[in-house]
A and B are shown apart, each in its own frame.
Chain A
Amino acid sequence: MTQQRFEQIYAEHREAVRAYVRRRAPDVVVDDVVSETFLVCLRRIDQVPLEPLPWLYSVAWKTLANERRKQARVANNHALSVAAPGPVGDGVLAKAFNALSERDREVLRLVAWEGLSLTDAATVLGCSGVACRVRYHRAKSRLASRLEAAESIKPQPKEVTR
């Protein structure tokens, strides 16, 4: 039964977890983080909720955090955070998004990129539904403000003196 459940979870959610990690980390660590995430899943299979994906994201997030700490310790650099992917194909949005705190970025990623409800996002973030909702709206508001400011900066006509 345990084996069947793990096999089912792995088959159904492997790609989603892999995509989740790829949105947050450079390719070089993706395989290790995904493997570690499913190893934790296997080890704690009796604690995995019926809807496992938010739980898997939560484990992957913690695994990524551990990986970042390890990288920082070993290489004394911030290679992972520097190389983490941001929005593509929209330079203004990418600049505004990357200027947010990681806390703001993560809740926005979960909703916009993983397509999670705020209830599921709260599971991933380990906070209450209310706290997650507040966090989400504040993050969205901050992104909107940064974007509005960036887009309001338009080229000014040069003053010509005759």
Chain B
Amino acid sequence: MTDDLITRLAAANPVPRNGTLHVLEPVRMRRSWRPVLAVAVAVVALAGAGVAIAAGFGAFEGTPAPPDVSTSFTQLNSMADQAIQEGISTRWPQADASKAHGVIEVQTTDGPEDLWAAPNDQGGQCYFIDWANDPPEQDGSKYGFGGCPPSQEPTSNINWGDVWIVGHPDFMTFWGTVYVAATTVQVTLDDGSTVALPVVEHMFLASLPRGDKVGKVTAFDASGNQVAESSTP
């Protein structure tokens, strides 16, 4: 009786597995995933700085972006267009590359890792992260990644992400955005250890040893009060 029941329930599937709504479309390989990936990573979170935390970040903040970084923001806008066309997103802000500026720089054994930001047309900021000593690409941009955090704050008031890139395999870039007024975030790793990071222009950055896994991010205001918290989904 009950197996018949499951069969009956399966027949009432509102989106049948073998029906037109669920038929696999012919797999259409993307022309290139690189730009989409770069932008996709971006939406997950925002900026960051490594375990060698933000030494001298105050001096770096506001530094006008060099041409290769500005070009990267321009490319980010093109990637956003592509992401929309590819159906990855329905809305994506456009950055004003002419106003790109430094936010946080962290020192690592691979040289400085930099977080840059540029205002966008939706009232927020787009960002780009690169390694200062990496040479420019042939097209005049910089190898790195970036994107535009969602303008609508998440329930936790914090967005964050982590990624490593081929050129710097020993490090995991950890970055994020806090949507409320905060001066620091405390990053709790899965092994229970913690790292404190400054928040600049609502963003934070760290270069963690690759393999570290972040379990929780907690933001604090200038008085030390907890103002937001986000755990691994």
Contact = CB atoms under 8 A, between A and B. Distances in A.
Given A40-B233, A140-B5, A70 B155 contact: yes
Q: Is the interface of B mostly helix, strand, loop or mixed?
A: loop
A59 B13 contact: no
B161 A43 contact: yes
Interface of A: 3, 6-7, 11-12, 15-16, 19, 22-23, 31-32, 35, 38-40, 42-43, 59, 62-63, 66, 69-70, 73, 85-90, 93-94, 97, 108, 111-115, 140-141, 143-144, 147
Given A31-B90, A85-B14, A88-B12, A11 B29 contact: yes
Given A39-B40, A93-B8, A112-B6, A85 B15 contact: yes
B180 interface: no
B34 A22 contact: no
Which 3 pairs show the lowest CB-CB distances between chains A and B?
A: A87-B12, A85-B14, A112-B9
Given A40-B233, A140-B2, 8 more contacts: A11-B29, A19-B22, A38-B40, A39-B41, A39-B43, A70-B155, A111-B6, A140-B5
A6 B230 CA distance: 25
Contact of B40 (A42, A69, A114): A42
Interface centre among B8, B14, B45 (most CB of A within 10 A): B14
Interface string B10-41: 11111101000111110101100110010011
B37 A3 contact: yes
B24 A93 contact: no
A143 B5 contact: yes
17 contacts: A3-B33, A6-B33, A19-B17, A22-B14, A35-B43, A39-B40, A39-B41, A39-B44, A43-B162, A43-B163, A85-B14, A89-B12, A93-B12, A108-B6, A112-B6, A113-B9, A143-B5
Nearest to B30: A7
B21 A19 contact: yes
A144 B14 contact: no
Nearest to B9: A112
Interface in B178-204: none
A23 B44 contact: no
A98 B82 CA distance: 41
Nearest to B23: A15
B151 interface: no
A115 B8 CA distance: 13
B1 interface: yes
Interface centre among B13, B41, B87 (most CB of A within 10 A): B13
B89 A35 contact: yes
